[in-house]
Amino acid sequence: MRVLRVVSTFAVAVLLAAMAASPAAASASAFAEPGAVLNLSWSAPAASNQVFTTTLTCHPTGGGEEWYMDAEAACGDLTTAGGNFESLPGRLLNCEGVQGWAIRTTASGHWFGQAVSYDESHANWCEARKKLGWVFIF
């Protein structure tokens, strides 16, 4: 009888400790830093002085602006590339004959603790999308 009481007291203590730890663990993970925070911008310098910017977070996914078209697709492309803008999967687009202003794309921030710095010009918006996939569609 005494052994049963000790075992049941121990079981209750373990259960109470687990219940007490669960809310703390849940709230800690709810406020965890995202795996990536990237400040993105694109512009057509020859066309205007206007620069379009947004902040993209990945893991968990989110766009800094409500008009960010598809943060999940952008984070998916970046995840495939390991956060390396030069390795983005791009999109299958035929840009032959497409005309327009040169597009400049930039990114800064971090990808899972690694600093990100990217700055590139593209012949036109089609070429930028072809190379960069969903990342700069905002």
Same domain? 127 vs 65: yes
Same domain? 106 vs 42: yes
Q: What share of the chain has pLDDT > 70, as a percent?
A: 72
Same domain? 3 vs 61: no
Same domain? 72 vs 126: yes
Domain count for the chain: 2
- Could you list the residue range(s) of the whole structural domain that residue 22 is in? 1-32
Whole-number pLDDT of residue 131: 97
pTM of this prediction? 0.72
As a 3-state breakdown, the chain gives helix, strand, coil percent values, each rounded to 5, of 35, 25, 40
Whole-number pLDDT of residue 127: 97
Query: What confidence tens digit (pLDDT) does each residue in 85-137 have?
Result: 999 999 999 999 999 999 999 999 999 999 999 999 999 999 999 999 999 98
Q: How many residues does the chain have?
A: 138
Same domain? 20 vs 40: no
Query: What confidence tens digit (pLDDT) does each residue in 53-64 have?
Result: 999 999 998 765
